[in-house]
């Protein structure tokens, strides 16, 4: 049978002075094999960690013959030659200066005769010999598993992956058994077993015959599914949520996908699925799901700072399973406008979010928010109460669509004029994300993100005005490892584009907070928030517009384990017509540093405007968690 033999040296010092040595391995010409030989050698791995007596060193040398032979055999070289020689360094005595064969029985005495403090050089010279190939590859039935030869279908043959004539690599031969067993289980053979292969070496033909013992067992379906460990969560909800059901074909991949889906609800700290044999009538395998509920209540602190919007900070309280069906309630209170060149004073943002999963159907969530806002921007001062409710639905792994209803009652002061607005809107949105990240704070290294929204709205003041806000943004990420100039995930080019348009009304026909603005970390860095676009004459008060476009290019480089940097350039404009790409183009550029933490990168960016408008800021600083896009 194939096996890896490990022989550990005994490094007992027998009263003699420790013997220092260095080891050299002659390359075989096969880099991967050379690395395996070096890793297998105790002479190499222990020479810098233990001082040993001459007798112990001789024991290491003897043991290395077997260890190195095992390494060579694992790569298909079953008739190798291994020569180990030992030479004294700098000894003028001819009797001890001549090289000594590592297999010589007199080696311990020879080493003991070397003067104190004089090192020896150990040279390992492996010779591969002719590579052995697989001869006969046979499959036999385990006792009690029926009669007749084992016949594999095409998928099972592919999973086995070994055939006569290919190099007899030990790892491939051993992995074939596990791979075949996995495939058979995936076909419903829940009790399938493929034992580690037996092997016979044929030196005369330089081949290795292998035999696999296979027990397939019957095709099995899922039986009764037991649920345990839930205290607050309703079992009926979990039963509805599960993607596997009794009488489904037993498939480990589908069972694991169902387990991960339940674990992803955010309610459980651990979910385990286990078979519960014996098989029931009709060859059904009962399953047991054991749940461990996590903490339902959490408190988090939020904060951020930029020179334009100033500081913001607060706390949030979250209950992750408030009604027992994985509903999430989050209460958040923030203080905003702590300084900042785009702010005129302190404000607040207080809101309550309720999310109900699987609303109406699976992968469809209900989201409700009630929010109170007060912000004293240079462009306008706003106090508002907002209520919105909507449905978010996932379409596969990458697409998400949403539909909302929103009502807002607000009072806005701009340039000394105070107006009350009641706004009703029906936002529609769709997003696409191929970055493969479940946490949006994690930095993307590849893929595309797309988002588009259409928001029909009605403003109920001095009559009713109707308008529609349309916005779209896209970002993509390119890893320079594809050009062969960096390691994966270390050097990234990120590109972002944003475009927006208001249809059906001119700038002053819509409330100030519904207009389009640019400037700040979300659009054009180097310009304060709402600092790009038309302004009231003789002031730095932004008017806003009915069209907007912006673009960003950013180079991100990671250094060492936890640090990184970025270079970026942004450009954008705001126009008074409904067609984008109008207005005065503003350009900013800057650099930043990153510190990567388990919850995401801490970001510090500094940006300057390259064509600063009158009364514009000379630079901006941004602090936050996560990349800007």
Count the neighbouring beta carbons within 10 Å of the beta carbon of residue 376.
17
- Residues 77 and 132 sit within 8 Å (Cβ to Cβ): yes
Query: Among 43-47, 370-374, 462-466, which stretch is predicted with the lowest mean pLDDT?
Result: 462-466
Distance CA 90, CA 97 (A): 8
15 compared with 481, residue with greater pLDDT: 481
pLDDT at 10 over 90: no
Say if CB 36 and CB 25 are below 8 A apart.
Answer: no
Q: Which of 147-156, 179-188, 402-411 has the lowest mean pLDDT?
A: 147-156
Nearest to 622 by CA among 301, 302, 307: 307
What the block records as the tokens of 446 is: 């590849």
Residue with tokens 């039963």: 239
pLDDT of 305 above 70: yes
Give residue 2's pLDDT band: very low, low, confident or very high (50, 70, 90): very low
| Topology, domain 221-293 | Ubiquitin-like (UB roll) (3.10.20)
In the chain, pLDDT over 90 holds for what percent of residues?
79
Q: Which residue has the tokens 């043959």?
A: 157
Asked whether the predicted pLDDT for residue 539 surpasses 90, the reply is no
The mean-pLDDT minimum among 17-31, 359-373, 597-611 falls in 17-31
pLDDT for the residue numbered 5: 33
Question: ω before 278 within 30° of 0 (cis)?
Answer: yes
Q: How far is CA 319 from its chain centroid?
A: 26
Average pLDDT value over all residues in the chain: 91
Backbone φ, ψ for residue 329 (5° rounding): -115, 130
**CB-based burial of residue 601 (10 Å sphere; 0-12 exposed, 13-18 middle, 19+ buried)?**
buried
- Tell me which residue has tokens 């996908």: 257
Report how far residue 604's alpha carbon sits from residue 596's, in angstroms, rounded to the nearest whole number. Answer: 12
Any idea which residue has 């002061």 for tokens?
Answer: 413
Position 14 pLDDT exceeds 70? no
Considering only the top CATH level, what class is 133-215? alpha beta
Strands 21-25 and 120-127: what pairing? parallel
Domains 133-215 and 297-625 in one fold:
no
Closest CA to 455 of 421, 410, 505, 497: 505
Instruction: Give the pLDDT score at 145.
Output: 82
pLDDT at 91: 53
Q: Please give the model's pTM, rounded to 2 decimal places.
A: 0.76
What does the pLDDT average to over 221-225?
Answer: 95
Q: What per-residue confidence (pLDDT) applies to 7? A: 34
The total of other beta-carbon atoms located within 10 Å of residue 49's CB is 7
Asked whether the predicted pLDDT for residue 599 surpasses 70, the reply is yes
Give the CATH number of domain 297-625. 2.40.160.50
- What's the CA gap between 609 and 308, in Å, rounded? 13
The reported pLDDT for the residue numbered 16 is 55
What confidence tens digit (pLDDT) does each residue in 83-111 have?
999 998 765 554 445 789 999 999 999 88
- 191 versus 51: which is more confidently predicted? 191
What residue spans define the domains of the chain? 21-127, 133-215, 221-293, 297-625
Distances (CA, A) of 624 to 339, 340, 384, 552, 601: 16, 15, 26, 18, 9
* Cα–Cα distances in angstroms (integers) from residue 274 to residues 183, 215, 227, 294, 541, in the given order: 19, 21, 11, 20, 64
pLDDT greater at residue 440 or residue 250 = 250
pLDDT tens-digit map of 347-403: 999 999 999 999 999 889 999 999 999 999 989 999 999 999 999 999 988 999 999
How many angstroms separate the Cα of 24 from the Cα of each of 86, 101, 123, 126?
10, 15, 5, 11
Per-residue confidence at 17, pLDDT binned at 50, 70, 90?
A: low
pLDDT of residue 258: 96
pLDDT of residue 9: 39
Split at pLDDT 50, 70, 90, the class of 317 is very high
Q: Is residue 3 over pLDDT 50?
A: no
- pLDDT tens for 478-510 read 999 999 989 999 999 999 999 999 999 999 989
Contact 315, 254 (CB under 8 A): no
Q: For residues 324 and 328, give the distance between their C-alpha atoms in angstroms, rounded to a whole number.
A: 10
pLDDT for the residue 460? 86
Q: Is the pLDDT of residue 1 over 90?
A: no
């Amino acid at each position: 049978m194939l096996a890896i033999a490990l022989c550990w040296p005994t490094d007992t010092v027998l009263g003699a002075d420790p013997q220092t040595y260095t080891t050299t391995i002659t390359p075989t010409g096969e880099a991967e094999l050379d690395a395996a030989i070096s890793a297998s050698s105790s002479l190499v791995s222990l020479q810098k960690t233990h001082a040993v007596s001459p007798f112990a060193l001789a024991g290491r040398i003897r043991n290395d013959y077997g260890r190195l032979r095992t390494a060579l055999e694992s790569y298909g070289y079953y008739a190798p030659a291994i020569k180990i020689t030992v030479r004294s360094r700098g000894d003028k005595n001819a009797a001890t200066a001549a090289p000594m064969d590592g297999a010589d029985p007199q080696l311990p005495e020879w080493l003991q005769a070397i003067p104190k403090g004089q090192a020896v050089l150990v040279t390992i010279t492996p010779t591969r010999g002719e590579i052995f190939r697989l001869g006969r590859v046979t499959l036999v039935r385990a006792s009690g598993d029926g009669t007749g030869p084992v016949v594999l279908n095409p998928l099972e043959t592919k999973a086995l992956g070994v055939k006569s004539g290919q190099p007899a690599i030990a790892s491939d031969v051993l992995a074939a058994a596990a791979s075949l067993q996995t495939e058979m289980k995936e076909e419903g053979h829940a009790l399938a077993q493929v034992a580690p292969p037996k092997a016979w070496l044929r030196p005369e033909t330089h081949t290795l015959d292998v035999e696999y013992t296979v027990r397939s067992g019957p095709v099995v379906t899922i039986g009764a599914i037991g649920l345990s460990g839930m205290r607050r969560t309703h079992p009926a909800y979990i039963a509805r949520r599960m993607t596997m059901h009794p009488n489904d074909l037993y498939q480990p991949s589908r069972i694991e996908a169902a387990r991960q889906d339940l674990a992803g609800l955010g309610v459980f700290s651990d979910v385990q699925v286990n078979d519960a044999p014996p098989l029931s009538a009709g060859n059904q395998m009962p399953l047991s799901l054991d749940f461990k509920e996590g903490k339902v209540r959490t408190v988090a602190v939020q904060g951020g700072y930029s020179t334009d919007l100033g500081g913001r900070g607060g706390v949030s309280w979250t209950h992750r399973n408030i009604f027992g069906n994985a509903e999430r309630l989050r209460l958040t209170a923030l203080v905003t406008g702590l300084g900042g060149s785009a702010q005129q004073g302190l404000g607040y943002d207080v809101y309550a979010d309720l999310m109900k999963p699987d609303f109406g159907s699976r992968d469809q969530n209900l989201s409700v928010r009630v929010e109170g806002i007060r912000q004293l921007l240079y462009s306008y001062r706003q106090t508002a109460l907002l209520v919105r409710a909507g449905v978010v639905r996932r379409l596969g792994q990458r697409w998400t669509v949403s539909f909302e209803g929103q009502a807002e009652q607000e009072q806005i002061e701009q340039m000394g004029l105070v107006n009350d607005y009641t706004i009703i809107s029906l936002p529609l949105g769709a997003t696409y994300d191929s970055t493969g990240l479940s946490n949006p704070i994690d930095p993307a290294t590849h893929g595309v993100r797309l988002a588009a929204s259409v928001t029909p709205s009605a403003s109920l003041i001095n009559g009713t005005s109707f308008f529609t806000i349309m916005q779209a943004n896209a970002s993509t990420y390119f890893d320079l490892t594809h050009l062969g100039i960096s390691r994966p995930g270390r050097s990234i080019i990120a590109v972002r584009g944003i475009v927006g348009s208001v249809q059906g009304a001119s700038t002053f026909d819509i409330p100030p907070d519904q207009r389009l603005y640019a400037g700040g970390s979300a659009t054009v860095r180097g310009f304060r928030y709402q600092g790009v676009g038309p302004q009231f004459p003789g002031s730095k008060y932004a008017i806003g517009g009915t069209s907007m476009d912006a673009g960003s290019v950013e180079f991100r480089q990671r250094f060492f384990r936890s640090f990184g940097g970025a270079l970026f350039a942004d450009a954008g404009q705001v126009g008074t017509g409904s067609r984008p790409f109008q207005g005065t183009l503003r350009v900013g550029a800057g650099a930043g540093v990153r510190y990567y933490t388990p919850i995401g990168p801490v970001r510090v960016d500094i940006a300057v405007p390259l064509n600063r408008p009158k009364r514009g800021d000379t630079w901006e600083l941004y602090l936050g968690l996560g990349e800007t896009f």
